[in-house]
Amino acid sequence: MFPAGPPGAGLILLRLCATGMVVGYAVSAGAKVPNWGFLLLLPVAFFLLLGLMTPVASVGALSIQGVIAWKAGFSGLPCCVLGVLLLTAVLLLGPGAYSLDALRFGRRRVIVSRG
Amino acid at 3: P
User: Does the residue 113 lie in any domain?
Assistant: no
Task: Write down the pLDDT at residue 47.
Answer: 92
CA 70 to chain CA mean position, Å: 19
Domain-located, residue 67: yes
59 is in which domain, residue-wise? Answer: 5-103
Q: What's the structural domain count of the chain?
A: 1
d(CA 113, CA 98): 31
**Which residue did the predictor score with more confidence, 33 or 49?**
49
* Any domain includes 50: yes
- Band (pLDDT 50/70/90 cuts) for residue 58 is very high
Q: Is residue 53 part of a domain?
A: yes
Q: Is pLDDT of 31 > 60?
A: no
Rounded mean pLDDT, 6-32: 82
**Mean pLDDT, rounded, for 49-60:** 90
Q: Is 12 inside any structural domain?
A: yes
Predicted TM-score (pTM) of this structure: 0.78
Q: Please check whether residue 81 lies inside any domain of the structure.
A: yes
CA dihedral 14, 87, 59, 56 (to 10 degrees): -10
Does residue 111 sit within a domain?
Answer: no
- Interhelix angle 5-29/35-50, rounded to 10 degrees, is 170
Alpha-carbon gap, residue 87 to 84, rounded angstroms: 5
Asked whether residue 112 is assigned to any structural domain, the reply reads: no
